[in-house]
Structure 1
Amino acid sequence: MSPAHRFDRGHTDDLISFIAASPSPYHAVANTAARLEKAGFRQIAETDAWDASAGGKFVLRGGAIIAWYVPEGATAATPFRIVGAHTDSPNLRVKPLPDTGAHGWRQVAVELYGGTLLNTWLDRDLGLSGRVTLRDGSNHLVNVDRPLLRVPQLAIHLDRGVNEGLKLDKQRHMTPIWGLGEPREGDLIRFVAQEADLVAEDIAGWDLMVHSVEPPAYLGRDRELLAAPRLDNLLSVHAGTAALAAAAGDHLPYIPVLAAFDHEENGSQSDTGADGPLLGTVLERSVFARGGTYEDKARAFAGTVCLSSDTGHAVHPNYAEHHDPGHHPMPNGGPILKINVNQRYATDGSGRAVFAAACERAGVPWQHFVSNNSMPCGTTIGPITAARHGIATVDIGVACLSMHSARELCGSDDPHLLAAALTAFLEG
């Protein structure tokens, strides 16, 4: 490893632990909350009256968390500095009637969530995670983190043309197996109840999904790469959490915020998604709790900036023609500034200046990303946040390969470089 290599082993090791402990959005939120509580933040309920006290606070709703720190001396019109991210990733999710099978195999019926890269889920050992809801309304986390399910691929002997182009039917070919025998109604939920030390008859609903049980790992001769599931976008959730905890203090000219939403991968239109009212409601209530008026809220929002942090595309060495020829982000080159003039990303010139200033203060290099004109451009929570709340928003992230795969790849330096830039941004 060269002397110039900036690899922060501690931060990336901690990211590995965070990802491994967060197989579902609900686990990611619980682990984020635990880290913030350790940093002195406290949970407040949406159903309670909020007070004007200073310090760190957060609210939880399903797979989303909004956390903020009110410095001593903050006024009702003090602007916010927001790091936006999302907790969900494309995967396979359990259907309402999960017990199925055929030809002597017991299987679990699943529905595809988000833009899943289907072939990456084949022949991979899968666990089961998420939450179950009891008849009394309480939610309980579930994590069966061992080989339990598998989506088997057809052998090449039975599909001689497979290497000329694999075609998968989403309904017929993506159903995982988990045993032999005839399917029995209620079998999966009875198993989940046993694993979670619950009574199956008490379970009224579930939000369950499969995850790869292969742990995150460093990759390469010099371990300069990180291979892991859910880098999109737990990498940003982890960096934002670390940045908020590091930035929290009474010297701040802004109120720093972490907004980690659910359901980004399918359009953000939910009560826990970026296109719902959650963020706006929390920010407004924070203003009003400090004695603010509508005018104060308008002033605060006008001075607010959000960095929407999500993974982006590193140049692929085997498919470079799919990238813009003048913009080739590389792993370990620092965070990327994502730009699209058609507003698939929310960055403009003013936002670029804010991001560049934060990176300069942190001593962090950064890169540009723009899509090839011939390729449709993805999008993020950035344009949604800007349009819904009238908040200046900048799209950034970390360059990676294999986005939406069951296992993605990024540079091992980039997580701590992103966290450093986010910390500098929150500190103003």
Structure 2
Amino acid sequence: MSEPPRFDRGHTDDLMSFLAASPTPYHAVANAAERLEKAGFRQVAETDAWDGTTGGKYVLRGGAIVAWYVPEGAAAHTPFRIVGAHTDSPNLRVKPRPDSGAHGWRQVAVEIYGGPLLNSWLDRDLGLAGRLSLRDGSTTLVNVDRPLLRVPQLAIHLDRSVNADGLKLDKQRHTQPVWGMGDDVRDGDLIAFLEETAGLPSGAVTGWDLMVHSVEPPAYLGRDRELVAGPRMDNLLSVHAGTAALAAAAGRGSELSCIPVLAAFDHEENGSQSDTGADGPLLGGVLERSVFARGGSYEDRARAFAGTVCLSSDTGHAVHPNYAERHDPTHHPRVDGGPLLKVNVNNRYATDGSGRAVFAAACEKAGVPFQSFVSNNAMPCGTTIGPITAARHGIRTIDIGVAILSMHSARELCGAKDPFLLANALVAFLEG
């Protein structure tokens, strides 16, 4: 194994800034694109003709980004090395008719996205952010990053059994946040407020994709600041690491033996079936167009895909000190123990033995330790974009990630070193 990389807290500091600045998938891809622009990448439009020039390029589509670097002299059949991730996180999202209320309270009507730990959204200061679609056909991002909403919990005096019998939340009745007082609830109040906040004229907004977020910033935790608490680590931690790794790999230029790629998709938390999800055509279309833009044929496309490998990077479960029996008794991943290699023989994860060898080689090259994760046989196993990517595109895929606690909470927890270790492993993988 190579010499282990010396921990750089600057990477984790930058991750915390990325998390804070990315309350929605749309903000996340905008921030990733900004970082890639600084590294010399340029945006290409899907509606334009593509050329076969070398260098870094990326496409944006809604809450998804696909970026790649073509080294000088790359043949049309040069394989790809892909880091796959997702930009979305479970949360509460605004309904088409957002203005509601009762009994003197003004509320916002929300729908539950994905599988959040609902109790983690109670009694928390919440902001509102997302994408506004305008009458002229354009879109703009908005972020009210201050305490604006709150989902109030029922006082224990009115539910004396809550601690004995457990909290029971009705997803419709008990999750609607308050954001003011008054009995004169009028349609359009929330959107008018956002138009004013974004500096838009009244009536400019005709569509929206809005979601709430905790405004509490990410923070170091623990005696020696060895832990990080923050929102949306699942899975912006991987998006951030993948962006940093792609920029670093691009610095190798003509030394690369493959074409490094970052593919960060939306809608993983609800099945990935969308035009910006991993089960959609975005990644395959970008890879094929890259082959054809370099003068390749269908045969070159087939050869490139046959040699391609994807790391599906998503967070995984660290062993929980209060619920160790929920984990497999022989697999207890720890925070700051290095990235997880995630295995499930029923293909909920895409890793097999040959994939393990690829990841082990990357970690060895980077001097990064890694751990294995497998679910307790008595517990249903989650899944990722890994099996979807493998099946849809016919490319070898390996599932990995960073061990965290409180997955799907409004605020999750990881080790301070693990994001740095993941990024180093991804650089080694992308370099081929």
Q: TM-score range by the shorter chain?
A: over 0.9
- Matched AA of 1:173: H
Q: How does 1:206-225 map onto structure 2 within 5 Å?
A: 206-225=208-227
Q: Distance in 2 between matches of 1:117 and 1:398?
A: 19
Q: Paired residue for 1:166?
A: 167
TM-score by length of 1: 0.99
For residues 274-297 of structure 1, the C-alpha deviation after alignment (integer angstroms, 9 at most, x for no partner) is 000000000000000000010000
Q: Distance in 2 between matches of 1:6 and 1:375?
A: 37
State the SS of the aligned residue for 2:419.
Answer: helix
Superposed CA RMSD in Å reads 0.9
Q: Distance in 2 between matches of 1:389 and 1:233?
A: 22
For residues 191-236 of structure 1, the C-alpha deviation after alignment (integer angstroms, 9 at most, x for no partner) is 0001111123111100000000000000000111000000000000
Q: CA deviation at 1:8?
A: 2.0
Within the candidate set 347, 357, 361, 1:353 is matched to 357
- Matched AA of 1:414: D
Q: How does 1:257-336 map onto structure 2 within 5 Å?
A: 257-336=261-340
Q: Distance in 2 between matches of 1:213 and 1:302?
A: 45
Q: CA deviation at 1:27?
A: 0.2
Q: Distance in 2 between matches of 1:318 and 1:399?
A: 16
Q: Distance in 2 between matches of 1:95 and 1:45?
A: 30
Within the candidate set 363, 368, 376, 2:367 is matched to 363
Within the candidate set 339, 345, 362, 2:343 is matched to 339
State the SS of the aligned residue for 1:250.
Answer: helix
Following superposition, which runs of at least 4 residues in structure 1 exceed 6 angstroms of deviation? none
TM-score by length of 2: 0.98
Gaps of 5+ in 2: none
- Matched AA of 1:45: A
Tell whether the 8 Å contact from 1:212 to 1:229 is kept in structure 2 after alignment: yes
C-alpha spacing 1:5/1:383, structure 2 compared with 1 (3 Å): closer
Tell whether the 8 Å contact from 1:7 to 1:412 is kept in structure 2 after alignment: no
Q: Distance in 2 between matches of 1:198 and 1:367?
A: 50
Tell whether the 8 Å contact from 1:126 to 1:212 is kept in structure 2 after alignment: yes
Q: How does 1:179-190 map onto structure 2 within 5 Å?
A: 179-182=180-183, 183-190=185-192
Q: Paired residue for 1:393?
A: 397
Tell whether the 8 Å contact from 1:12 to 1:416 is kept in structure 2 after alignment: yes
Are residues 1:76 and 2:80 paired? no
Q: State, as a whole percentage, how many aligned pairs show the same letter.
A: 82
Q: Distance in 1 between matches of 2:361 and 2:168?
A: 47
Are residues 1:27 and 2:39 paired? no
Q: CA deviation at 1:145?
A: 0.2
- Matched AA of 2:86: H
Q: How does 1:8-47 map onto structure 2 within 5 Å?
A: 8-47=8-47
Q: Paired residue for 1:247?
A: 249
Tell whether the 8 Å contact from 1:6 to 1:413 is kept in structure 2 after alignment: no
State the SS of the aligned residue for 1:308.
Answer: strand
Q: How does 1:113-192 map onto structure 2 within 5 Å?
A: 113-164=113-164, 165-182=166-183, 183-192=185-194
Q: Distance in 1 between matches of 2:364 and 2:271?
A: 33
Q: CA deviation at 1:5?
A: 11
Q: Distance in 2 between matches of 1:314 and 1:97?
A: 40
- Matched AA of 2:273: Q
Q: Distance in 1 between matches of 2:6 and 2:71?
A: 32
- Matched AA of 1:250: S
Q: How does 1:401-416 map onto structure 2 within 5 Å?
A: 401-416=405-420
Q: Distance in 2 between matches of 1:137 and 1:286?
A: 29
State the SS of the aligned residue for 2:98.
Answer: strand
Tell whether the 8 Å contact from 1:272 to 1:278 is kept in structure 2 after alignment: yes
Gaps of 5+ in 1: none
Q: Paired residue for 1:204?
A: 206
- Matched AA of 2:62: G
Q: Distance in 1 between matches of 2:186 and 2:332?
A: 52
C-alpha spacing 1:417/1:5, structure 2 compared with 1 (3 Å): closer
- Matched AA of 1:419: A
State the SS of the aligned residue for 2:111.
Answer: strand
Tell whether the 8 Å contact from 1:69 to 1:256 is kept in structure 2 after alignment: yes
- Matched AA of 2:139: N
Q: Distance in 2 between matches of 1:8 and 1:184?
A: 51
Q: Distance in 2 between matches of 1:403 and 1:14?
A: 21
Q: CA deviation at 1:6?
A: 5.5
- Matched AA of 2:239: V
Q: Distance in 2 between matches of 1:322 and 1:387?
A: 30
Q: Distance in 2 between matches of 1:211 and 1:9?
A: 25
- Matched AA of 2:207: G
Q: Paired residue for 1:85?
A: 85
Q: CA deviation at 1:135?
A: 1.2
State the SS of the aligned residue for 2:312.
Answer: strand
State the SS of the aligned residue for 2:279.
Answer: coil
Q: Paired residue for 2:228?
A: 226
- Matched AA of 2:322: N
